[in-house]
A and B are shown apart, each in its own frame.
Chain A
Amino acid sequence: MSGNGRTKLVLGYGTCGIAAGAAAVKEALEREVSAGGYDLELDIAGCMGFCFREPIVEVFYPDGRSVVYGDLTPKKVPQLLQAAAAGEVLEEWVVRRSDDPTAGEGDFLANQHRIVLRNCGRLNPESIDEYIARGGYEAARKALTTMTPEEIIDEVSKSGLRGRGGAGFPTGTKWGFARRAKGDQKYLVCNADEGDPGAFMDRSVLEGDPHAVIEGMIIAGYAIGATQGYIYCRAEYPLALKRLDIAIAACRERGFLGEGIFGTDWNFDIKIKKGAGAFVCGEETALIASIEGKRGMPRPRPPFPANEGLWGKPTNINNVETLAAVPWIIAHGGEKYAELGTEKSKGTKVFCLAGKVRRSGLAEVPMGYTLRQVIFDVGGGVREGKEFKAVQLGGPSGGCLPASLLDTPVDYEAITATGAIMGSGGMIVADSSTCMVDLARYFLSFTQAESCGKCVPCRLGTKRMLEILTRICEGEGEPEDLERLEVLAADIKAASLCALGGTAPNPVLTTLKYFRNEYEDHIFHHKCTAGVCPALITVKINRDLCTGCGACAKICPVEAITGEKKEPHSIDPDTCIRCKLCLSRCPEEAIYAE
């Protein structure tokens, strides 16, 4: 990244970086570089994946070495610039060193294999030149000028790439359907409606490497015979939308989009459609309805979108991550991609590590890695010495898996066999402070709110399940409730119109299967061992630790806490509403729930 003999500083400038304070660091960098007269180059990049250490800066020295620093603040900037200018390394801030993979958190990256994220954090996503300098648009040029559509589809089929949105349908096969469908106009849609709570890989790719997705779309459009592409992106991702706009405009200027692209007689252009906030629009027929300006409700299939999609024309829909892998596959060959992974799941998958994991961020690993490798080797295990309890895979459509299943490989079939699903790749780690019944209730409240209401099993079934889960969490659960949940779940799965309803019971079924004791504790013993469900806990003060500072009494909204200054305080259990606000306020961690 640094070839002109100058040291370059690259600031991670994705949504997570900005949320962590990267904007203030950017201002400080710009100000201090000009004030100090430093001969240093500044640039921005998308998220490198080290979300847990944001804001981060990577320093590229002229000799090819690079060092990543984390947890930056404007105050640290002068020292950072001094060190960078002098070619020194600030050991205590190091997140990663290119010349010493064991330094800092180096193993976070060392244990990954990056294909989709190949450019994320490595280039300025607002610069088409940087993308081209890293070999960008060569795959599209190769595909359009030297390959037939059938050869491209063949190559993608050989790679074994499967839909990364969650369903895992073979991409080459899907393209083949759309290719063979008859129609005067065909459409290609990029599904960037990343609605799964806990998944942010599509956002990271769109923000960090938008050209990879556009290049994938150019190749896919040519392969299936679509001249018009759409990117359906969530409105909640303003930075991704902005960078896509910039990237598309740059492509039109270079002749990569528009008429006669790459000097061929092929035309292809892309329009952006902003979502308006409906989780169900991730389902392809609902997404199509939404692009058409209707309420985003799914319809029965067949006819499949490949034959009757957008405006009734043949339409192919692929997810962001799927499309971002395509240029790499065309450039390196399908066989090279298929060398990675398991028998039926090839290549790599990007996971979003979040929750109680020590290193939350982006993890791209070859299929076949075990959950343990992803969570412990890449993610660094559970935070603050607590014990691993479960990992939630696949968002509201997925499931919760216990420690005994940590050696399950990341593979579509193997994960489905556990009752969870691969899904889009959200991986939320739960520890002993997470109540599994509450987590199941949380997901049901999500799917219930997001159910479009079209079919009865989903609309009413999820409502009934949520009512049962809520009463269990409130200590009103009945002994028959577990069986009721199982019966409802089976009916909803069998009879729902689309995947939203069809998978909605998964979080409940997997927790019932692997954490049944917690349900039983709630129902029969009126106990929430994780200390989460308000109706089943008592908030107490450890009198040995309490210093009587009074901070808890001040924050208590119902004045349940009393005590003399500098004397241990106590909580009146009858007044306490168990909101647990005092827990976070106590400097001595003397307050606990049980």
Chain B
Amino acid sequence: MDGETCKCSQRFADVDDLGPLQEILERYRGEKGALIPLLQDAQEAYGYLDEKIMRALAKGAGYQLSQLYGVATFYTQFRLQPIGEHLIRVCHGTACHVAGAELISEEIYNILGIRDGETTPDRKFTVETVMCVGACSLSPIMIVDEDTHGKLKPANVRKVLKRYMGESEEREE
């Protein structure tokens, strides 16, 4: 990781650097019921909720660690593990399901060699199943990072993913 080629190290703060967390704590100081926004902002800053971050957050905001853990594991948005450079979210809403979302997921699993919720060993991709993202008229869809790809067919999944593979390969050269 010494070449700083990994995008995630630029995108997210290091979990040993509690500076960003202090700012987040200040943002919500004194606000009632701010636990969820605290966790959301911490995850946005660090990419995931590391145990170190959770402990510091509990201490700084005056919560029990168990309270934080309870909330963080209840909501699907929160992750306790780091994700890959690119996050692939495959929509499995009803419209996507009847349009064959299962096949889209299968093809992604085939190409990347990982299953739902997993990250590739090279930490390039994490794939997740998500419930409806509300773009049903373009079903089946997947979202890679911030880009939505609609009206997918299993056969063109590889083409879409290649864009993201190529991108990181180029940078490493």
Contact = CB atoms under 8 A, between A and B. Distances in A.
A356 B155 CA distance: 20
B110 interface: yes
B74 A278 contact: yes
Contacts of A581: 103, 106-107, 110, 154-155
Interface centre among B40, B106, B131, by most A CB within 10 Å?
A: B131
A360 interface: yes
Contacts of B76: 276-278
B150 interface: yes
Contacts, number: 152
A221 interface: no
Contact of A557 (B94, B110, B138, B148): B110
Interface in A13-27: 15-16, 18-20
A52 interface: yes
A238 B10 CA distance: 22
B132 A276 contact: no
A294 B32 CA distance: 11
Interface residues of A, number: 61
A349 B146 CA distance: 32
**For the complex, would chain A's binding face be called helix, strand, loop or mixed by DSSP majority?**
mixed
B130 A236 contact: yes
Contacts of A352: 136
Contacts of B131: 195, 197, 279, 446, 450
B104 to A, nearest CB: 9
Contacts of A395: 94
B154 A195 contact: no
Contact of B141 (A19, A197, A273): A19
Nearest to A587: B155
Nearest to B136: A354
B153 A354 contact: no
A395 B136 CA distance: 13
A285 to B, nearest CB: 15
Interface in B120-151: 130-139, 141, 148-150
B20 interface: no
Given A197-B93, A200-B136, A555-B155, A439 B74 contact: no
B33 interface: yes
B5 interface: no
A580 interface: yes
Given A19-B150, A295-B71, A235 B134 contact: no
B106 A579 contact: yes
A332 B155 CA distance: 52
Interface residues of B, number: 44
Contacts of A15: 133-135, 148
Nearest to A552: B155
Contacts of B94: 197-198, 354-355, 392, 395, 426, 428, 439, 442-443
A20 B132 CA distance: 16
A311 B34 CA distance: 13
Nearest to B37: A274
Given A276-B78, A555-B154, A439 B71 contact: no
Contacts of B149: 19
A293 B33 contact: yes
Nearest to A239: B134
B90 interface: no
Contacts of A551: 155
A16 to B, nearest CB: 5
Contacts of B92: 197
A451 to B, nearest CB: 12
A394 B131 CA distance: 15
B132 A197 contact: yes
Interface in B92-108: 92-95, 97-100, 103, 106-107
B66 to A, nearest CB: 11
21 contacts: A16-B137, A19-B135, A51-B136, A198-B95, A198-B136, A200-B134, A200-B135, A236-B130, A236-B133, A275-B75, A276-B77, A278-B75, A293-B33, A295-B74, A354-B94, A439-B98, A442-B94, A452-B74, A584-B100, A584-B103, A585-B155
**8 nearest A-B pairs in the assembled complex, by CB-CB distance:** A51-B137, A293-B35, A276-B75, A197-B93, A197-B132, A354-B136, A19-B148, A277-B76
Interface of B: 32-37, 39-40, 70-71, 74-78, 92-95, 97-100, 103, 106-107, 110, 130-139, 141, 148-150, 153-155
Given A278-B75, A581-B107, A584-B103, 13 more contacts: A16-B137, A197-B131, A236-B130, A277-B75, A291-B33, A292-B33, A311-B32, A353-B137, A354-B137, A355-B94, A356-B98, A360-B136, A434-B98
